[in-house]
Amino acid sequence: MAVLNIGSLNLDYVYRVDHFVRPGETLAASHRAVHAGGKGLNQSVALARAGATVLHAGCVGADGGMLLEVLKGEGVDVSMLAVHESEASGHTFIQVTDDGENGILYYPGTNGRVTVESMLLALDACEKDDIVMLQNELPDTAGLIEAALERAVCAPSSIRLPSTLRFSRRRSKGSTRSSSTRPRRGAFWPTRPKALRPPA
């Protein structure tokens, strides 16, 4: 059994600042670091470290060499990763303050190239007992789920869409805003694209 992870890949540019940039302000950062990230890449790395056989499908740009090398270094199969030389990879600019607060600007870049049509070859490579994993950093997650089900590359129970936040309609007294909570460990969203609701 293997895991096909159709997932996002981002270059994370992290800047240490003493406060978030204000409108009209130019602010000097005290430190800069570049990391490989994206929900998809992070999932593939975690799965590989847990002992799973992982095939990562997605797209990077000409600047995505670091992302490919990180996945290869973790033993992830990158044969289904496309490189678009004329576009930038997905990336984030992250401000981190001294008290640990962060603000993130996200540019999808080549993650926007991950369409149903571009992923059919990867889906065709699946065996019946394989698992397909997705995230919500892709432009048509519901369409990818539908394609996997229609092509019968795996059982519905073998499609995983991990939830990072679960939104509650319950409101505290006097509040007009919905709250958000972390999902329980191991919780997954339903696999039918017309019913993508967080679990109860």
Please list the pLDDT of the chain residue by residue as tens digits (200 residues). Answer: 899 999 999 999 999 999 999 999 999 999 999 999 999 999 999 999 999 999 999 999 999 999 999 999 999 999 999 999 999 999 999 999 999 999 999 999 999 999 999 999 888 888 878 888 988 888 888 898 888 887 655 555 556 666 543 333 333 344 333 333 333 333 333 333 333 333 33
Residue holding tokens 């936040």? 165
Q: How far apart are CA 57 and CA 66, in angstroms?
A: 16
Give the global pTM. Answer: 0.75
pLDDT of residue 137: 87
Neighbours of 172 (CB within 10 A): 8
Order of strands, sheet of 10-17, starting from the edge strand that comes earlier in the sequence: 31-37, 10-17, 90-97, 102-107
